[in-house]
Amino acid sequence: MIEINALEKKFEEKLKALDGISLLIREQQVFGLIGTNGAGKSTLLRILCGILKQDAGEVLVDGQTVYDNPKVKSLIFFISDEPWFFRNASPATMKNYYSQIYPAFDKTRCENLLRDFSLDMDRKISTFSKGMKKQLAVILGISSGSKYLICDETFDGLDPVMRQGVKSIFANDMLERGMTPIIASHNLRELEDICDHIGLLHQGGVLLNEDLDNMKLNIQKVQAVFSDENDLENLNSHLHVLKQQQTGRLRTFTIRGSREEVEEYFRGISTVYFEILPLTLEEIFISETEVVGYDVKKFILH
């Protein structure tokens, strides 16, 4: 388990990258980390790995601090947005290097995965495409045998077949050896398919920290056509409306609350039509961030 308590990090006197973040990452769950641009995701991941040191608060991995602790760092493999390799190195070079750092590194598995992904073990990595470098980083991470695999935009650059292959490997390693993936990504549709728990960051703080299924249960998307405009005016006093849009007479609402609560209200008023629809992670992200002023309309030129 990873415990993050009141974490703070500043890079300039007035710029707080992280401002009192607290999260709990349970074992054998896929934890998805999402957030607005500049929310502090990459900074948080680098602190989790012990690359950066926080200014305040603590990070505990299985009850131990990470920074300057090689024993704990051997439990973590970090796949950065731009994977790092030695100059002029080949996959074989990196395999031998990581096998000296990670006691549980499985060389045979690494070689088999390289073969399965059609990556030449002796070819210079500098000649690889972006997608091939990402594949190699994932293979090294999986082969490390680490308990926690921390991924920053890991699926970016992978084609659909490779993405599905990586997800299958993740699922297998979670089942077989209890691996816990922590995945930061802007691709919310990708995370929705694989994640159990979501942490949403904004301006260095936590907006949401919840199981994905529970998150969807507590926010509803409703489309309705009203018979009486007075019911529309009273809606905000009865329900917590996060967002509403209008197309002709059809109105679409994003409402915080249980399905039962929302359905009971709409059945009690006069509507021509209403329907509760499934809400995507992307829609939840937009609704929650708009509440704190991160509105897409600000970025549209008229």
Please tell me the distance from the alpha carbon of residue 32 to that of residue 210, in angstroms, as a whole number: 10
Tell me the pTM: 0.83
pLDDT band at 298 (very low <50, low <70, confident <90, very high): very low
Q: Is the pLDDT of residue 154 over 70?
A: yes
List all residues 6 or more positions away from 150 whose beta carbon is below 8 Å from its beta carbon. 45, 48, 49, 76, 77, 78, 79, 181, 182
State mean pLDDT over 255-282: 90
DSSP state of 297: G
What pLDDT, on the 0 to 100 scale, is given for residue 293? 61
| For the chain, percent of residues with pLDDT exceeding 90 | 56
Report domain extents, the chain.
Answer: 2-211, 218-299
Please tell me the distance from the alpha carbon of residue 231 to that of residue 213, in angstroms, as a whole number: 30
Q: Is the pLDDT of residue 294 over 70?
A: no
Q: Which residue has the higher pLDDT, 279 or 55?
A: 55
Q: Is the pLDDT of residue 297 over 70?
A: no
pLDDT band at 286 (very low <50, low <70, confident <90, very high): confident
pLDDT tens digits along 1-46: 999 999 999 987 777 889 899 999 999 899 999 888 888 898 999 9
Is residue 264 exposed (0-12), middle (13-18) or buried (19+ Cβ within 10 Å)? exposed
Residues 35, 41: contact at Cβ < 8 Å?
yes
Matching residue, tokens 């994977």? 83
Angle at 299 between CA 296 and CA 302, to 5 degrees: 110
Strands annotated E in the chain? 2-12, 15-25, 31-35, 56-61, 64-65, 76-79, 148-152, 180-184, 197-202, 205-211, 219-226, 240-247, 250-256, 271-277
CATH fold group of domain 218-299: Alpha-Beta Plaits (3.30.70)
Q: Count how many residues are written for the chain.
A: 302
- With CA atoms as reference, report the closest residue to 5 among 19, 17, 21, 16: 21
Residues 36, 289: contact at Cβ < 8 Å?
yes
Residues 155, 187: contact at Cβ < 8 Å?
yes
How far apart, in Å, are the Cα atoms of 39 and each of 2, 44, 146, 279?
20, 10, 27, 23
Superfamily assignment of 2-211 in CATH?
P-loop containing nucleotide triphosphate hydrolases (3.40.50.300)
